[in-house]
Amino acid sequence: MNETFLARLEQVEQRIAAACKKAGRPRDSVRLLAVSKTKPPEAVREAADCGLRLFGENRVQEAQSKIPMCPNGLEWHLIGHLQTNKAKIAAQYFQMVHSVDSLKLLQALESHAGTTLPVLLQVNVSGESAKFGMKPDEVACVIEAANQMQKVEVHGLMTMPPFSPDPEKTRVHFSALRQLRDHLQDETGTPLPELSMGMSHDLEVAIQEGSTWVRIGTDLFGGRS
Ligand SMILES: *Cc1c(COP(=O)(O)O)cnc(C)c1O
């Protein structure tokens, strides 16, 4: 079991390293977020035993019961849609939120965070079928509002494009997120170094387009039922 995870991790690591090399980027410019949603604490322990420290969950309720059963010293990132009324619990369990998709949610996190909380703003750059995310033209206003807050800090943007079996079809959305980031940095004067984009099947394309966080579930932990 442990060997299986280690073998999968080594494969993912090789893919990330190769993509960085191809893009002329240093390996340490991309971080691997291990997406443990639906997987038991034992799977997280196994991953931690292999040296992983950064884990992603997409539901607050699941995280609330799972995290206390996992090893200490791990960093937990929320990557799924968060309802405003769960912001308080989220702020207790997560060290970073990738999926802030409204000003209202940002304000709720600000009022419940005990200390500095880095966040990413989730943007719907594909327009069509994406269920969550702000519209690109709403983001500047949210960044300006965040700049007046004490605890939440916007570090960049996140996107979750509609699934396509062909990763090349997703490139346009990743590139749109990077261009939006560049534009927002100029417009607001706020540094936005982080881009959370890329999953198991399209991490190479995401890294070529500037991703700094790849969120990998299936190719590390196996398929989800
Ligand atoms: C599930 C999930 C992932 C991981 O997807 P895989 O295809 O299993 O790697 C990444 N990001 C978000 C937001 C997710 O919900």
The string of pLDDT tens digits covering residues 125-170 is 988 766 789 999 999 999 999 999 999 999 999 999 999 999 999 9
The domain spans of the chain are 3-221
State the CB neighbour count (10 A cutoff) for residue 20.
18
The reported pLDDT for the residue numbered 2 is: 56
Choose one of 58, 79, 205, 215 to mutate for the ligand 1 pocket test, by most ligand atoms within 8 angstroms of C-beta. Answer: 215
* pLDDT tens per residue across span 89-110: 999 999 999 999 999 999 999 9
How large is the average pLDDT for residues 120-127? Answer: 95
Tokens of 184: 């927002």
Average pLDDT, the chain: 96
Question: For a pLDDT cut of 90, what percent of the chain falls above it?
Answer: 95
Q: Determine whether domain 3-221 maps to CATH 3.20.20.10.
A: yes
Q: Which residues line ligand 1 (CB under 6 A)?
A: 35, 37, 58, 79-80, 160, 199-200, 215-219
Q: Specify the ligand 1 atom closest to the Cα of 80.
A: 13
**Percent of the chain scoring above 70 in pLDDT:** 98
pLDDT in tens, 18-58: 999 999 999 999 999 999 999 999 999 999 999 999 999 99
